[in-house]
């Protein structure tokens, strides 16, 4: 066996996790770029994971079809969530969306169809490494294409100054809803891939700890940089394997890294290569 294949055989699970986590980080990055501290990504991920799993196990749908439906459902849920939280900003938005995440987790914990607290097992492992990284590439390409549109400019304007954005004709409510829905779609994709690359899923997979992880990846990478978010996710997914002797203290190490970044590189990893000035060319 070649060293590369040998490496893959040893670490395929971690490699797949990095891909899924990178997609998750991109999903939160979309909301953060619009200045929305909306922390419901783990819930969108969970909803899509359950939808895709139930369709695969109960209805025997093929992977692609389960992913499409799961992404549609998570997108609609995210768009609907945007309405009741439309007037909330900053920490109030964060608390409301975390609350929504808890509701989703508790509901999943108590429904028969989701398997309750024990979750669902024997999920077909058909989200292979090429499928996961193909999806990541697709998301990255779509976001890159989007970054050259007026939507991206409007997102940047809403983040910078909602009041002035309205003054130049931006429908702030629509931009906030669209960015939350887009984030929900991407988180849904990650959720479906997560389910189909794991043997089983439980409600705790999509709880507050997962959400906190996704936020930390984005803060470490740089909240307004998609590439930074991906790097943050990759780095913090690999780190526990590198420092296995601290495995029991994963949340503590995450917290220490987060504090370090906030104190010494507030712009995250992306500030190492990005200028302070934001350029949006449309």
Which residue, 2 or 277, has its beta carbon nearer to another protein?
277
Decide: helix, strand or coil at residue 209. Answer: helix
With respect to another protein, which residue has the nearer C-beta, 65 or 282? 282
In the complex with another protein, the residue whose CB is nearer, 88 or 172, is 172
CB of 49 to another protein, least distance (A): 36
Nearer to another protein, 108 or 156 (CB): 156
Would you give the end-to-end CA distance of the chain in angstroms?
49
C-beta of 161: minimal distance to another protein in Å? 6
- For residue 110, the minimal CB distance to another protein (Å) is 41
Question: Could you tell me the two tokens for 176?
Answer: 């906030």
Closer Cβ to another protein, 112 or 281, answer by number:
281
Shortest Cβ 233–another protein spacing (Å): 24
Nearer to another protein by C-beta: 118 or 161? 161
Distances (CA, A) of 147 to 72, 127, 248: 22, 28, 40
Maximum distance among all Cα pairs of the chain, rounded to whole angstroms: 63
- With CA atoms as reference, report the closest residue to 203 among 55, 84, 53, 15: 53
Per-residue binding string, another protein, 249-278, x by CB under 8 A, is ---------------------------xxx
Q: Which is nearer to another protein, 16 or 162 (CB)?
A: 162
Q: What is the DSSP string of 136-157?
A: HHHHHHHHHHHTTSHHHHHHHH
**Smallest distance, Å, CB 55 to another protein?**
39
Q: With contact defined as beta carbons under 8 Å apart, do 223 and 274 qualify?
A: no
What is the rounded distance in angstroms from the CA atom of residue 130 to the CA atom of residue 43? 25
By CB under 8 A, the count of residues binding another protein is 24
What is d(CA 153, CA 164) in angstroms, rounded to the nearest whole number?
13
Q: Quick check: 145 binds another protein (CB under 8 A)? A: no
> Taking a C-beta distance cutoff of 8 angstroms, is the pair 220, 50 a contact?
no
CA distance 24 to 46: 12
Phi-psi region of 265 (alpha: psi -120 to 50; beta: other; left: phi over 0): beta
CB of 150 to another protein, least distance (A): 6
Restricting to residues 146-185, name those near another protein by CB under 8 A. 150, 153-154, 156-157, 160-161, 163-172
Residue 152 Cβ, how far from another protein at the closest point, in Å? 10
Residues that bind another protein (CB under 8 A): 150, 153-154, 156-157, 160-161, 163-172, 276-282
């Amino acid at each position: 066996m070649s060293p590369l294949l040998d490496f893959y055989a040893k670490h395929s699970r971690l490699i797949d996790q990095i891909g899924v986590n990178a997609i998750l980080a991109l999903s939160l990055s979309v909301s953060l770029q619009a200045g929305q501290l909306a922390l419901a990504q783990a819930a969108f991920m969970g909803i899509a994971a359950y939808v895709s799993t139930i369709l695969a196990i109960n209805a025997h749908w093929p992977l692609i079809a389960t992913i499409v439906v799961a992404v549609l459902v998570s997108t609609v849920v995210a768009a609907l969530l945007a309405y009741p939280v439309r007037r909330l900003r900053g920490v109030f938005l964060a608390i409301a969306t975390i609350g929504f995440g808890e509701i989703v987790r508790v509901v999943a914990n108590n429904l028969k169809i989701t398997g309750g607290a024990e979750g669902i097992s024997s999920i077909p492992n058909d989200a292979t490494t090429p499928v996961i990284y193909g999806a990541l590439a697709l998301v990255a390409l779509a976001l890159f294409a989007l970054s050259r549109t007026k939507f991206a400019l409007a997102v940047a304007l809403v983040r910078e100054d909602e009041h002035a954005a309205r003054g130049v004709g931006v429908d702030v409510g629509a931009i906030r809803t669209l960015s939350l829905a887009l984030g929900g779609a991407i988180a849904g994709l990650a959720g479906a891939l997560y389910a189909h690359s794991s043997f089983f899923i439980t409600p705790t997979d999509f709880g507050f700890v997962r959400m906190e992880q996704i936020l930390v990846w984005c803060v470490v990478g740089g909240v307004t940089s998609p590439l930074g978010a991906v790097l943050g996710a990759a780095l913090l997914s690999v780190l526990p394997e590198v420092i296995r002797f601290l495995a029991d203290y994963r949340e503590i190490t995450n917290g220490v890294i987060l504090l370090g970044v906030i104190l010494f590189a507030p712009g995250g990893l992306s500030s190492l290569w990005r200028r302070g000035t934001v350029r949006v060319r449309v």
